Amino acid sequence: MSSHILQTEADLHAALAKLVLADPRLGAVLAKAGSPALRRRAPGFAGLCAIVVGQQLSTASASAIWGRMEAAFVPFHHDAVRRARPERLARIGLSAPKIRTMKAIGKAVAKGDINLEALAHMEAEQAHRALTRLHGIGPWTADVYLLFCLGHADAWPAGDLALQEAARIAFGLRVRPDARKMVKLAEIWKPWRGVAAHLLWNYYRVIKKRDPVPVQPDNGGENGRSA
């Protein structure tokens, strides 16, 4: 079964309607939060590298480093990055782990081990597994790529702290659910778990009065942080 792709705001709104039918509890969340905007980033090698750059950095720092990366590699191509000397990448502002990750991604793309755009047409779990096999790409980073770069409607970053907190408030839970409980909670929302993520992030924004759109993961691993 191929996945659903959110290309436009209309796609997102139509999916929201299906999601609320599947779980009427989300109707109250939607009424409080309003319809979320569909935020998309560039797909492919550049999109995944931009997410890697942002790991454990403020939005401003990540933007500055990514701006230097784009200026240094025109066009921004996997071959250029994987062949670049580590010293050159370090001068741009990348840490040694991020340099290793980008080079590993570039090598995988060059060898044909992964097609980053084709992941959009896989089921969420299959695409997630393909990404997390890459060096330095953890579950959170994989799901953020699927959601924001590919518009995958069923990607579910269960480790994201803002999603966990939004779920706790929305469903009156005594404690914030961990990633395992979030996976179980979202089972009813398949194949629209990514749509639920957009909705709950918007709910968090309204309740907490701060923008929770994911910017950086916790070491690219199980738990995510939202800015």
pLDDT one-digit tens code per residue, 35-64:
999 988 989 999 999 999 988 888 889 999
Residues 91 and 142 in one domain: yes
Place of tokens 């790409």: 137
Q: Is residue 161 situated within a structural domain?
A: yes
pTM: 0.88
Q: Is residue 184 situated within a structural domain?
A: yes
Kindly give, in sequence order, each residue whose CB lies less than 8 Å from that of residue 39, ignoring residues fewer than 6 positions away: 148, 213
Residues 24 and 36 in one domain: yes
Higher-pLDDT residue of 226, 149: 149
pLDDT of residue 209: 85
Residues 17 and 80 in one domain: no
Judge whether residue 141 has pLDDT over 70: yes
- Measured from the Cβ of residue 201, the count of other Cβ atoms closer than 10 Å reads 23
Residues 144 and 194 in one domain: no
Residues 52 and 111 in one domain: yes
Judge whether residue 225 has pLDDT over 60: no
Q: Is residue 4 situated within a structural domain?
A: no
Three-class secondary structure assignment of the chain: CCCCECCCHHHHHHHHHHHHHHCCHHHHHHHHHCCCCCCCCCCHHHHHHHHHHHCCCCHHHHHHHHHHHHHHCCCCCHHHHHHCCHHHHHHHCCCHHHHHHHHHHHHHHHHCCCCCCHHHHCCHHHHHHHHHCCCCCCHHHHHHHHHHHCCECCCCCCCEHHHHHHHHHHCCCCCCCCHHHHHHHHHHHCCCHHHHHHHHHHHHHHHHCCCCCEEEECCCCCCEEEC
Number of domains in the chain: 2
Q: What CATH number is given to the structural domain containing 105?
A: 1.10.340.30
Q: Is residue 222 situated within a structural domain?
A: yes
Q: Which of 149, 164, 184 is the last residue of a domain?
A: 149
Task: Give me the domain span that covers residue 199.
Answer: 9-40+153-226
Q: Is residue 218 situated within a structural domain?
A: yes
pLDDT one-digit tens code per residue, 72-113:
999 999 999 999 999 999 999 999 999 999 999 999 999 999
Q: Which of 100, 119, 149 is the last residue of a domain?
A: 149
